[in-house]
Structure 1
């Protein structure tokens, strides 16, 4: 039998999706499962986006340009301008989701064996993207005890080697919900310029900033034009995860020219999804105001309920719709599987994402889970009640 590639063997499992078979089995047994494991919003997709697809008058569903349609990129540039991010259409490449944008960015800035520094815990798929790109993730650990604030600058500089090519952040953060301040972005910008590194920011949750805080993009930072690469997506902003439309944005012409070659190699992003995404840009601000208000209420309710559970520690998110929860268990992987295989409370259980998969440092986050508060408030209340009773039974 032929051998599987070493790269394939090294590809990590998704902590978000690997428990799906156990959840499906639980449902077959008649157990209701509350999905706290994945960031799939239950918020309705804007009708303007859906109508654009329904009403599209297309005789031939053709390829689009590799960099995405002119119309969409031009309209997207105007969207960014309204948020004090001044880029042109030719500084944007449309991708098949933010995932492909991250793959293009890694392929553009680094070679096999190069290193990328990422504050952890981080979006679990960064590990997979790095592995498939042949890169080494060098983690700098942030802590639940400091609400996952940016680690001291010295910790970044101590990790920089001749193989370091970039620093990657998620702002606001998945899985922590941490929102980097303007001052923190400026500190990272100083490191990038001092050590001649790219600063890549995954900003797909930019709209979801809470408690009066404002999102500050790396593309708003003056003097960072040659170093900054922004990743974006429609998935969370418009509750359009299935559209698979994202983008890579940079004012560095060599970055865009190189990323375009990767885009040409995969031909083009999906045409119908671009039509929907272009139309979604007409979504009124009232939509976001309502959505943000809803997420703040969900966050506050969930955090309050979690804090009532003995032995549980939780960091309060400043953005996005996730939180990291430290549980009074030794192994959250075992606990998460047990929840689906062996536990139910009034015929119901919950599915969580074990947090160890959001770290690249071994033996870190073993007693943590990520919870996505993308369910209605009454369901979050039930989920917290289930978790409380599950912990009592598991630790009995």
Structure 2
């Protein structure tokens, strides 16, 4: 019998989606499942984006340009201009979601066996993108006790070797919600400059920062403009996950030209989704102000409720809409499956994302979960109460 590839065997399962069959089975039994496992906002997509598609009079749904439409890339550049970042549309490559931008970034700068250093826990699909591209992830641990702050630069220095091609960060972070300070970004900029490597920043949650703190983009640092690569997306900013539109940004012309070759192999990003994404750029600031206010309220409720559960330790997010909670269990994977298979409270249960899948170091995160606070407050409160009762019953078995 023919065998599948070693690469395929190494591809990791998604910690976010691997429990879906158990959730579907629970639903088939009539159990209501609160989804805390996936970053799918319940915030309404801006109407201007939906109307742009609905009212469009396209007669032939044709390919777009490989790099994305000229008008859309020009408007992305205008968006960044408002943030104090000057870009030429030629420095922007539109992609099928931020996921494709990350794959293109890795493929453009690293050969098989080359290394990218990533603070962990990190977005689980970074492991998948790296495996698909033949890139080795070198993790550096950030800790819940420090709220998942950037590890000391000295620890990065120890990991940089001849195969190191880049450092990759997510800012604000998924799954931690950590927001890197200006000082931390400056230290990273100095580090990549000193070692002549790339700095890739996944900045898709840029708009969602809390407690009066600001987001600091790596694109502000002129000294690393040849080394800075930014991944962006409309998915979370405009609650448009299904549009699958993102972009890769670099002022390094060779990087963009190389990434363009990967993009040509997939032809073009989706046309209707670009139309919606272009229209979404007209969304007023009031939309983001209201969304941020809602997420802050949800975060505060979630943290308050979690901190009242015996044995639970939780980091306080400063951005995005995720947090990591440490539970009084030995195996969060088993507990998460048990919640769906064997437990309900008044015919309701919760689905969480076991956090071990957000680490590359084996053995880490086994007693942690990621929670996405993308449910309205009443549902979020019910979900945490179910988690509380679940922990009581699970621990007394």
Q: Output aligned runs, 1:106-117, within 5 Å.
A: 106-117=106-117
Q: Output aligned runs, 1:23-34, within 5 Å.
A: 23-34=23-34
Q: TM-score, normalised by structure 1?
A: 1.00
C-alpha deviation, 1:85, in angstroms = 1.4
1:320 aligned residue: 320
Matched, 1:346 2:350: no
C-alpha deviation, 1:84, in angstroms = 1.1
Matched, 1:43 2:28: no
Cα distance in structure 2, aligned partners of 1:237 and 1:215: 14
Listed one character per residue, the Cα deviations across residues 361-393 of structure 1 (whole Å, up to 9, x for unaligned) are 000000000000000000011011001100000
Cα distance in structure 2, aligned partners of 1:84 and 1:332: 43
2:227 aligned residue: 227
1:188 aligned residue: 188
Cα distance in structure 2, aligned partners of 1:236 and 1:24: 25
2:294 aligned residue: 294
Listed one character per residue, the Cα deviations across residues 264-309 of structure 1 (whole Å, up to 9, x for unaligned) are 1110000000000000000000000000000000000000000000
1:83 aligned residue: 83
RMSD of equivalent CA atoms? 0.4
C-alpha deviation, 1:222, in angstroms = 2.2
Cα distance in structure 1, aligned partners of 2:363 and 2:275: 45
Cα distance in structure 1, aligned partners of 2:25 and 2:7: 31
Matched, 1:212 2:212: yes
What SS does structure 2 have at the residue aligned with 1:158?
Answer: helix
2:128 aligned residue: 128
1:156 aligned residue: 156
What SS does structure 1 have at the residue aligned with 2:167?
Answer: strand
1:273 aligned residue: 273
Cα distance in structure 1, aligned partners of 2:150 and 2:21: 36
1:375 aligned residue: 375
Q: TM-score, normalised by structure 2?
A: 0.99
Listed one character per residue, the Cα deviations across residues 189-232 of structure 1 (whole Å, up to 9, x for unaligned) are 01100001100000000000001001010001121101100000
Cα distance in structure 1, aligned partners of 2:30 and 2:356: 29
1:72 aligned residue: 72
Cα distance in structure 2, aligned partners of 1:384 and 1:243: 30
Cα distance in structure 1, aligned partners of 2:51 and 2:391: 45
Cα distance in structure 2, aligned partners of 1:298 and 1:336: 22
What SS does structure 2 have at the residue aligned with 1:340?
Answer: helix
2:337 aligned residue: 337
Cα distance in structure 2, aligned partners of 1:255 and 1:148: 30
C-alpha deviation, 1:4, in angstroms = 0.2
Cα distance in structure 2, aligned partners of 1:84 and 1:361: 38
Cα distance in structure 1, aligned partners of 2:98 and 2:84: 21
Q: Output aligned runs, 1:220-259, within 5 Å.
A: 220-259=220-259
Listed one character per residue, the Cα deviations across residues 9-39 of structure 1 (whole Å, up to 9, x for unaligned) are 0000000000000000000001000000000
